A and B are shown apart, each in its own frame.
Chain A
Amino acid sequence: MKKSVFINGIGVVTTQGVWRAEFFSEVRVLDHAITPADQPSYKGLISPGAIRRMSRGMKMGIYAAQQALAEASVTIPDAIVTGTGLGCSEDSDKFLRSLWENEEQFLTPTSFIQSTHNTVAAQIALQLQCKGYNVTYVNGGISFESALLDALLLLQTGEEEHVLLGGVDEIAEQTYAFLQAAGYIKADGIQETVKNNVSPGVNYAEGAQFFSMGASRMTSSYAEMIDVTLQNELEVSETASFLQDFLVANNFRPEDIDAVILGYNGDEKDDLFYNALQQELPLATPLYYKHLSGQYDSCSAFGLAAAAFVLKYQTVPPILYWNEKNPPKTTWKNILLYNQYKGKDHSLVVVRAC
């Protein structure tokens, strides 16, 4: 018998600041090629020396993790599972540049040490003295969902009680410049939003999103995590059966889904997948979030935070509506999330009010 799994706490550091009750009422729509996170003060949480030494991703991750754990009143989780598409790019960039500039001489180890993809999860474990299960997934747009799948397995089987789950990606100047050169990120100076997108590329950003996942429902609980599925490749014509299989496996009918959160990011080709899926769920209210989060591999975790918010407070912040007119709904029970990137790394996640 599978155990139920709940989202008991949330912490984020994003372009919209840190997690708080007013999070979605104080948001602004992103309209720059690259938007850095609005970072909090790390004083008191991280030592001054470490604040200087640590990359953005490490600091954002430690902060968001602490916020998520505190909300769920968990001091030390049993396991830490994270996902990141690009890992610790800031330190990778730094080490790589000095390798080029000094032709393999006069190198120092700090940026190499901090460049491994598992650095954020490791630093959180070190900070919390958490000796439990610790894994980092690195697989583009499903990096976070891979971690989510692992966390679900740990909790559904009863192996663990409290799992800290996170998704982190950071802006690194050189890495993002390369992504710009390759056309993934819009050119500097262009001001477009997800909705009025015309030029190639999409708006990128960064963020850390953590969830305190538990096997027991608490007063702080946001929602019940039902399931997740991952798929490396899919044709637009296959989205319907991909969805159908997932709904059937979880005993859902299409009409059970009250809202569908889609990963619209402004890319016309990506839109085709979301449009196709939306057509299969005509009664579900379409919502989106990448106009607020920006694109980065683990940004789908921002979408999950939005779903959790809607289910807990039983209200949809107007900024999340994809369409201008929406059928009136007063209760939100089941929310489906669909994300993919350039036709790869498709994921479906379903969460339920608890």
Chain B
Amino acid sequence: MTDRGVAVTGIGIISSIGETVEENLQALLAGKHGLSRIANFPTRLQEHIWVGEIKRTNEELSDSLGLSLPHAFTRTALLGAYAARQAVESAELRDAHDLRTGFISSTSVGGMDYTERYGPTYLNSPEWHRYISSHPAGDSSHKIAQHLGIKGLVTTVSTACSSAANAMMMGARLIRSGRLDRVIVGGTDALSKFTINGFHTLMILSDAPCQPFDEHRKGLNLGEGAAYLVLESEESIQRQDKHVLAYLAGYGNANDAFHQTASSENGEGAFLAMQKALAIAQLAPQAIDYVNAHGTATPNNDLSEGRAMQRIFKGNVPLFSSTKPFTGHTLAAAGAIEAVYSILALQQGVVPPNLHFNTPMEELDLIPETTGQHRSLSHVLSNSFGFGGNCSSLIFSKA
């Protein structure tokens, strides 16, 4: 533990804009989004929605992981293993048995993609029964941990769309408490019929590429992906002479306690989460150089989050953008994917652009960054909010 926070020594990511950190960075810099029509499974909504889908089949992902067949990895586990392995490689984690290593993942759909596909056969035929035990959310974490060879503290957070942020927060707290020396944290979610239809019934899916913070925003685009960070204690870093990518300096979690799916008008939960994160990081609001907003582009979220930002930054809102037009809303993985983008922003000194923004919201005097400005950044705040009023904020600081 240092005053700077908990060190990040590795990052890994797979999203619709790239299968490596470098590919994601290049897409962000080029303003190249990853939205398309669904190709991996048939759905009635195919022609009606845009999604951030990763154009790799499960078989391809399985092959690239070198998994022996048959296995019961669902897409959520496959994507998670893919990104987590990169994170571990990027941190150059060596097998050190005297270092206590944990894994805290997160997911919202878990193995639902296979349950929705094979569930109708389960009671008539044993053919696909191996996927029954892949259904629970925690199963993907077990499979990823096994793939990475991690034996120890392994658990899973599920707080809807703020899941990964809470997994990262728990990891940092476990390091600070001295219970772990290093921990791989993040989240993974695959697209499924269950979620796209669920969001469709709520009428918050846009039929066009999403426009966060725009007056004419029509809703969100869903996406899939996974991202993980490696967090390490100061002692672990010194012992191994590790290169630090960034510091997780602050984290805050609060509940909006307003409605199961809608955010409160004044963004109380978001406000409290940002306030707590600033307190943990011991930073004044003015120290934040860039906010990677939750910014789903639903009318409700962006107004509520915008109000919360105005409250916390007292009208002096720093540069901010939502990267959801690039990836779609990747649900439980969003917090981790956006943590990687926040770290890249710090490292590269660049603010990722908020695509498709044209008209400021009537209610608020807030204009997101649209051009991908280069400037030196010291502290980045990343927001993740979910159903159930779960609001979380993380602060990453330059190494």
Contacts and interface: CB of A to CB of B under 8 A. Distances in A.
Interface of A: 80, 85-87, 92, 95-96, 99-100, 103-105, 107-109, 112-119, 121-123, 125-126, 128-140, 142-143, 146, 150, 153, 156-157, 174-175, 177-179, 181-182, 184, 229-233, 297, 344-345
Contacts of B153: 229-232
B136 interface: yes
B268 interface: yes
Interface stretch (B196-204, B318-326, B338-346): B196-204
Given A131-B255, A131-B256, A232 B156 contact: no
A182 B121 CA distance: 12
A116 B158 contact: yes
Contacts of B116: 96, 99-100
B386 A118 contact: yes
Nearest to B138: A139
Contacts of A108: 201
B119 A96 contact: yes
Nearest to A146: B155
A113 B260 contact: yes
A113 B202 CA distance: 8
A100 B115 CA distance: 11
Most buried by B among A85, A86, A135: A135
B170 interface: yes
A114 B260 contact: yes
Contacts of B145: 232
24 contacts: A85-B136, A87-B137, A109-B202, A115-B198, A116-B386, A117-B159, A118-B388, A118-B390, A125-B389, A134-B253, A134-B254, A135-B170, A137-B155, A137-B158, A140-B138, A140-B142, A157-B177, A175-B135, A178-B119, A181-B129, A181-B132, A182-B133, A229-B153, A232-B151
B174 interface: yes
Contact of A130 (B193, B201, B255): B255
Contact of B155 (A109, A142, A175): A142
Nearest to B139: A140
A86 B136 contact: yes
Interface of B: 43-45, 103, 108, 110, 112, 115-116, 119-120, 122-123, 126, 129, 132-133, 135-139, 141-142, 145-146, 150-160, 166, 170, 173-174, 177, 193-194, 197-198, 200-202, 253-261, 268-269, 272, 386-390
A232 B137 contact: no
**Which A-B residue pairs are the 9 nearest by beta carbons?**
A122-B388, A139-B138, A112-B198, A232-B154, A117-B158, A109-B201, A138-B137, A182-B132, A134-B255
Contacts of B150: 232
Contacts of B261: 113
Contact of A122 (B126, B133, B387): B387
Contacts of A87: 137, 158
Contacts of B122: 177-178, 181-182
A107 B201 CA distance: 6
Given A96-B116, A117-B158, A181-B129, A122 B389 contact: yes
A128 B258 CA distance: 11
Given A86-B136, A107-B197, 16 more contacts: A96-B194, A108-B201, A116-B108, A118-B387, A126-B258, A134-B159, A134-B390, A139-B137, A139-B154, A146-B156, A153-B177, A177-B123, A182-B132, A231-B152, A232-B151, A232-B153
